[in-house]
Structure 1
């Protein structure tokens, strides 16, 4: 089989000294040879001329897509919907009934991410040690009940406790999704699936539900928002527990031969599938890797718009003079823009890699998405409050950050090898995500409503800083690939069976090539 479209380029022959460097990189961690990837039992089944056909591969890919993509999409959509239920509830007396005076509402928005932050590393460890899908399903079941309980809250302290708990329970979902995607798809196929899975379509649920509860009688309509979304989450957790496979080896919906094809398709990427043994060396390597901290810094800046806008968009719109029910409906285009951003950026990367595989495209589309968001936030900052339609359009387009964010998540997945390193990298990225979402709402001061000048300025600054950081990340990956091309005399369109499923990290394995 040939290598991934993103991977290897021809390189000059390495010197004897370079070969020793190569040897040292591959053998840096002797434990990696013992702790083989779970996919090793299905490796090397297509040798000596025995292979699979293109039709088999296409049929299998469709089979995987139809099972996994809808489930992973609803995992993300449900989490996005549940975390912002307070935003819709705020239109129906939620703040008054629970005593959210001053900046307390901002802290309710931030509290979710304190729980997420606290549980990032423990949840990552659980995802590695325990059956992955079962961990995700159990967490969803519990957070559904927490949401239902939030509908009975009457004060600030109770809300803070419930929101912290909700954040902790959602911590395994997105990292778990990324791990599942990396188990089933080679790198050049992950981008399109990521774009389909990570969308803003949660508004298709929150919008109609929020509009509908406006017709309920009584003074506490907001409580129904939590009860309805909580019940939906509990039901979905049952679906995940039954139908989502933990990994390709344990999946019942694919045959033995199809499992071998899945593994063979992943061989050229050199990223492995799964290893349940925690590797301390990989953990510390993650902390020493410059790529890790560049991605952490990028996620720290790019997520500030998410933290601020998702909590205050409804209040910004209501401040333009619309009713509560109309404000809920007018937030729905924000999700459409997020989805378009995800489709354009991720779909664009996928198509460019299909037709121009020799070039790198991910950073190009990240910068494009950031430029759109930056221009939109500039208009939102400068337009007056009486320019209703202009401010609405600028607010909607300010949500263009989702596409660049999702492409960056796929960069982390594609450029990290070694299962412990993958888990640790994901945990650090989501620590940064939590910190920025804690910070984001604090820039939106209630005293500055409805313009929220400081909050919009923070969104502007985050777009600028994100562009600088991702450019540095791309430069580092480009430099490292050139260094490896000079060292690895085996570089090119060739499979390296000595390192494919030995759970080596991307730094240990000189055959590995970065994408950017």
Structure 2
């Protein structure tokens, strides 16, 4: 289909003649502020809870299988999730999953053996399977592409906490809140007035990725941070304290670099490669230096490994920004989540308790993985540049018009079908 063909206007397009350029800075700022005050806190707390559960068991030697058990069920639920996410609004589905998930986390305080912990983590893995995909869809639904990086960095965070009962109960309440507070789409946002709903459609139309879900279909780094540091001779309490700076590095690095990417265009792939490189430097320090003689330097290397979050966050944000079409966005999100689960199933098995604290096999595997991540960043960037130039040469310079974006959304065009689409990098 030629995206320039005229089709009957949908209700959402009626009386929308402006382009994004006609919106005032005040209007854009107000839309983004309202979104950040309602949507982002829900997404941030949701993913924070997921990280807290993983980190809480990080210093247990039997954690390898506990972590893998979680991701086996997490992976198995991806395919039912692919079907369910097209039958419910995103906010409703996340709320339905979070409520029993929170109840299960409360039961962790009653678990005193491996069998009990494994059973609970099996169930929580099933319930958490939707979160990553749903957060990616929420990103694409509510934010323009230049805002994806920073928002992804905040909801895909590493805030440390270790109290099961408190965050389990809080997660239960969050599930109820998510069910009622997360709108189905910007067009149905309870915190936008009628004019702001209209402006929100105009603001996101030029992204040409679509903002609504259709009703049809066509990490061992943080996990073993505490375990590694405990091997340096610290007790459990101090281990938790000494492990916190890596989470701080991950949060600050992600927030800083993604904030820069909001104002400096086409740097996300560069920061992706930079984050992977910084992580590799830290991993080499941990892998090669003798911890008994250079414990502080080893700790510094472990903290540099916090840069792992930068590459992952930017990968997720680019996936949201560069994928058009509702069905393809869901498929892309599922693919990312499946790879995330597979990595978290395999990764823990490289960390053997007898190799503590240096874990040469585990760190060696991570060195290979992040080398590949840096290389894929280079390849991804090159492919985006090549494809943009090819499209410019064949179809002319892309038009940044709201009408084209709205038509692409209505026709559910993918980024490959929409010849006016240009990839960001």
Question: What is the TM-score of this pair, normalised by structure 1?
Answer: 0.77
The answer to whether residue 341 in structure 2 is matched with residue 459 in structure 1 is no
**Which of 184, 194, 204 is the aligned partner of 2:152?**
194
Matched, 1:152 2:110: yes
Matched, 1:46 2:24: no
Partner of 1:182: 140
Q: Greater CA radius of gyration, 1 or 2?
A: 1
- C-alpha deviation, 1:145, in angstroms: 1.6
1:79 is displaced (CA, Å) by 1.3
Deviation at 1:437, TM superposition (A): 0.8
Unaligned runs of 5+ in 1: 1-21, 28-32, 96-103, 207-224, 281-306, 354-359
Which residue pairs with 1:283 in the alignment?
none
- Take 1:182 and 1:49, find their aligned partners in 2: how far apart are those partners? 19
SS class of match (2:234): coil
Q: For residues 473-492 of structure 1, what are the structure 2 equivalents within 5 Å?
A: 473-489=380-396, 491-492=398-399
Hey, what does 1:82 align to over in structure 2? 53
1:245 counterpart residue number: 183
The CA deviation at 1:48 is: 7.4
- What is the deviation of 1:174? 2.0
- Please say which of residues 420-429 and 125-134 is displaced more in the overlay: 125-134
Cα separation, 2, equivalents of 1:500 and 1:424:
16
Which position in structure 1 is the counterpart of 2:197? 259
RMSD between superposed Cα atoms in Å: 2.3
TM-score (norm. length: structure 2): 0.92
3-state secondary structure, aligned to 2:311: helix
For 1:41-440, what aligned pairs fall within 5 Å after superposition?
41-47=11-17, 52-87=23-58, 90=60, 104-201=62-159, 203=160, 205-206=161-162, 225-280=163-218, 307-353=219-265, 360-386=266-292, 387-440=294-347
Q: Is the 8 A contact 2:54 2:223 kept in 1?
A: no
Shift, 1:379, TM fit: 0.3
Distance 2:283 2:325 in 1: 39
Matched, 1:501 2:410: yes
1:412 deviates by 0.6
1:111–1:365 CA distance, 2 compared to 1 (3 A)? same
* Secondary structure of 1:475 counterpart: helix
> Unaligned stretches of 5+ in structure 2?
none
- Does structure 2 retain, via aligned residues, the 8 Å contact 1:341–1:401? no
SS in 1 for 2:110: coil
Output the CA distance in 1 between the equivalents of 2:174 and 2:119.
24
State the alpha-carbon separation in 1 of the partners of residues 196 and 240 from structure 2: 46
Partners of 1:371 and 1:44 in 2: CA distance: 49
Conserved 8 A contact 1:87-1:312: yes
Q: CA deviation at 1:253?
A: 0.9
Cα distance in structure 1, aligned partners of 2:422 and 2:19: 27
Q: Contact between 1:140 and 1:234, CA under 8 Å: does it hold in 2? A: yes
